[in-house]
Structure 1
């Protein structure tokens, strides 16, 4: 039995992955934005070990969430699933960040830095990352300019950086496809079951094909991605920006 923590697991793909893992006999810890949603999450994923709360748009709450995870002990896998498409982009968080950047980019970075390292890390990216700025020119502290595509490119960069720096960890990025969730909308054309199957497979499978690292996968198969994510200079620019912004460094750099 494996133990898995999944961010953003009250609904959508996170909830579906959580239920699939529980049904396979694994121990799953959920994450919700607040206490009200945590009650809903436990009701929707019967058999979950626990639910932790933390607003990922807040660096302080994200740090607290990492503390909550560590207090529960060691995890075998973490699925960084939480994300938003649009979230009041004209309104900044208490940290002065666009909410989309705070939730999609900074939260998984902070959690990766602070949570005791599991054996497997899965980052939810998107095929839309191919429309991102590969030069990261939007990472400017004086005038931050980030699109959804950029944030999904950041998730890919983080996965590739961890894979390079920690060869003892399986770290990968996943494109779940455009699936009919609350975020994707009812008209999304891709298969919902396949939208979470790769994350589940990477998190717990003993299949040798799942014991991989530094890959970008779509429906359990390697897919094309922006190759700049492999470049050390791009990774260092991203990691340095996140470290300067949060005051938190990856412990293994």
Structure 2
């Protein structure tokens, strides 16, 4: 929509018409044509063309009146980015001869998971040396416990009276079988790592205690024999008599703890 302009009695100069033509360009959103200027301001073709050229020749400024340069593609005047020099990758001497992995579609090399080396040799030690070492130890321990049992009241009994009167057994053998076998069993549970933490702690201390008791029993027997004593003192007899019961309780407790869940 255009507004009627009252014609002046005197012809208007180009400089006087330029602000009005600029306002018209702002309303239209574009530079008006020569004919539009002629119709709007009732001027001739030469003056309309001169005003239009003057409007076109005006520099375009930003609202803060700062010079932004010519209006065109901003990338046309952008400075070229500096070239990126590839950094050489220095590999260790051991890996220098290996080919680099090929890049996948996203540009990244494929991820490979290498198996971690085993921290130790999985081969187990031979067991025959243990058997060879255990034979003389078994003889010494067996004779020591049986002899100590004889000095503390252990001896031949008939466990089945009225049923098998001829069947007898020397109760002194209960000492080496109970104490030493339990020590080996608890030692296995402690070092194998196959039992829950509570059972492992119990096995550790009970195994150490059983081995110490076994060593003290051997010392006591040899001291009594060396001194020519035929009957052990009462306190040694008391301790030796409690060993089968103590071993039974520890074995039952370790078996119970070994059956618990690993969360204990």
Higher strand content, 1 or 2: 1
Q: Same fold (TM over 0.5)?
A: no
Higher relative contact order (CA 8 A, sep 6+): 1
TM-score, normalised to structure 2's length? 0.22
TM-score, normalised to structure 1's length? 0.22
